Chain A
Amino acid sequence: MMAQIEKFTYDNASVRNFAVATMLWGVVGMLVGLIAALELIFPDLNFDLPFITYGRIRPLHTNAVIFAFIGNGIFTGVYYSLQRLLKTPMFSKTLSAIHFWGWQLIIVSAALTLPLGITSSKEYAELEWPIDLAIAVVWVVFGINMFGTILKRRENHLYVAIWFYIATWITVTVLHIGNNLAIPVSATKSYGLFAGVQDALVQWWYGHNAVAFFLTTPYLGLMYYFLPKAANRPVYSYRLSIIHFWALIFIYIWAGPHHLLYTSLPDWAQSLGTVFSIMLIAPSWGGMLNGLLTLRGAWDRVRQDPVLKFMVVAITAYGMATFEGPMLSLKSVNAISHFTDWTIAHVHIGALGWNGFFTFGMLYWLFPKLYRTNLYSTRLANAHFWIGTLGILFYAIPLYWAGWTQSLMWKEFTPDGFLKYSNFLETVTEILPMYRLRAVGGSLYFVGILVMVYNLVKTVRAGSFESEEPAEAPAREKIYKPHAGEHWHRWIERRPIQMLIASAILILIGGVVEVFPMVMIESNIPRIASVKPYTPLELHGRDLYIREGCVGCHSQMIRPFRSETERYGDYSKSGEFIYDRPFLWGSKRTGPDLHREGGKYPDSWHFNHMLDPTTMSPGSIMPRYPWFIRDEMSLGTLPQKIKVLRTLGTPYPAGYEDQATADLQVQASGIADRLIADGIEIPKKELQKKEIVALIAYLQRLGTDIKPKAGK
């Protein structure tokens, strides 16, 4: 018997809001990226202002693109497809509104706090704890809204796109909580629960899976919905999509340690990361082929339809990035690629190609639907496609070239056994032409986005928006009668909560196996007796280093290669980082590694270098930091910092918080004396209060705990 037909409406207003936000933040995020790229060519572009200096705006760029542009893109696609696949409106309009405005508010908070230097410095998780809490609340609101919609659905079975949405939601929840466990010092500062190697592992368990479950799985869900819609034909193999889903979510979570090859992370964890990364090729390419083969017999349309063009290039970029990722996880390849622009090129194939182009394709498809009209100009959309494609090529190819060139220069020895390019700066100036070309690529891509915005605004003006789109569907059969001998997967496809639990178990296995032993087993991190906690002045200097985002260009991890130990000193040991909250190993060397920086140069060298890097290193592309010399240390939270760190296990004696400020002043006075002796013409009374003194104390401490003292 046919169930009764019910009439209802789809909520298009939320979809439209997220789509507009996607466009807006796309423009902002790419523009900030372009400014950052230009600052690497013209360091003066920071105009001596801290708020727009490279170290502070780089995380602004990554956060804006990942969470603002791509995040809103995800919500656009989810809110549109979920309602239609389940034949029901969203669960709650109030929750949809809280989700939308809450997410935008979080983005605005990020855009304000990151330039102010309020950062936890953990890559892609830089936002401080109050914003982290807000993210958790809004994410839960999204989850309730999504599951509420699923529970009141009219379609019994959940299409594969929805499985990807469910896996995304649960995994991002776990990752966000796990990586942001911290104790607050103040409203704008906290120290993480984990230190050093453990912090690194947890961070890259998060960082890698943020790529997996924020940039990949939700977009695969969108691919499984919007590609068939745009091509007007079902997905090539629904069977393959089932294998794709389960294999992908299970394997992805294990691969995080490939970000830490040749570091102080124990070898077993590195091996595990590599093995699972290689295996990731199978499900990733399964998904890519499933996408491309969906277009079999429709390739003539791809030539003409910009929507399909964008989607095809996006899926191809996904295939390229997911082949390259496992290759970069091979230790021998990683030895060359890590810390270079190769990584930057790789992630931009993913971000510009896969996420960017798929989002553009989706928006070009969606806006005419939402506004019940045709796209304003197909020619402009095609122009955008070609400008954007050229932009990606001009962005990525020079950076691949730069990465290989710089890495080979780092590793080259003369016949006499000395480093051929012993001055790190030589390896930077060599690749500057590539940085210029990259900025050209970024500009092209940005222009493409502006063309899209114009095209879509004109489309909106020509159409009429229907916020409540009428629809009808049969009521759901409340009691589903399974057929005899029904396969168990059909059972789970009708049960979203069980699907959520199964996904959670699968993603937790990898995390538990890797992270728990590191956190629980002491022997994984051999202690070194000479490694002591930071002094109050060094601690303050370290927090300034974090504030400025120095980690964006300087690593603190000397890998056990001769080319690195010759250049920087003894390789880094895991026991050296046990008081580092957060760890500051970095992932890119635009400047040299600083782990053994302590004692390399006199204090006055650092003073002059921060005032104007080119005076000490002619040709340097490091920006000037005059505010370090201008501004005084703000020590209001120092006692609280000591207390929090002691709670977390740093062995400061009981009551040391009352002594810390006095100790800091004594050490600062000594540094001020040395600076004045070297000719710095600032009265000691003022000089010893300046931020530069704390930064120098920290830099001079780096790596010295186990460094042989040179004949003192």
Chain B
Amino acid sequence: MYKYILEGAGNINWMAISALITFFTVFVLGAILAFRSDPSFIKKMANLPFDDNVFPNAEIENRHEK
């Protein structure tokens, strides 16, 4: 069945299939490592850009059109 589908899809050779498998492997590995990370660590990392907040937040509001 799957062979029939792949043949019907056109010029798909072993290289394309191995490419697909390789991609999914990388994708799944990425997903596993991302979702197994500690939530507090993820939160800390996501907030890293804010550690240098030398300007008060109120200043951001100054950019708004009055």
Contact = CB atoms under 8 A, between A and B. Distances in A.
A246 interface: yes
B34 A234 contact: no
A493 B48 CA distance: 13
Contact of A487 (B38, B46, B49, B60): B38
A272 B49 contact: no
Given A232-B57, A243-B31, A488-B33, A250 B26 contact: yes
B31 A268 contact: no
B22 to A, nearest CB: 8
Interface size class of A (residues with CB under 8 A): 35 or more
A471 B52 contact: yes
Interface string B43-66: 111111111101101011011111
Given A238-B42, A272-B15, A304-B64, A87 B30 contact: no
A640 to B, nearest CB: 41
Contacts of B11: 267, 271
B37 A487 contact: yes
Q: 3 closest Cβ contacts across the A-B interface?
A: A234-B46, A239-B34, A238-B46
Given A234-B47, A247-B26, 11 more contacts: A81-B49, A87-B52, A234-B49, A238-B43, A239-B35, A271-B13, A279-B20, A375-B63, A473-B51, A489-B34, A490-B41
Nearest to B52: A84
A406 B30 CA distance: 43
B45 A276 contact: no
A239 B65 contact: no
Given A85-B49, A228-B50, A306 B13 contact: no
A49 to B, nearest CB: 45
Contacts of A240: 34
B19 interface: yes
B45 A238 contact: yes
B15 to A, nearest CB: 6
A242 interface: yes
B65 A304 contact: yes
Contacts of B33: 242, 487-489
B30 to A, nearest CB: 4
B48 A246 contact: no
A383 B54 CA distance: 29
A267 B10 CA distance: 12
Interface string A291-309: 0000000000100111100
A439 interface: no
B36 A246 contact: no
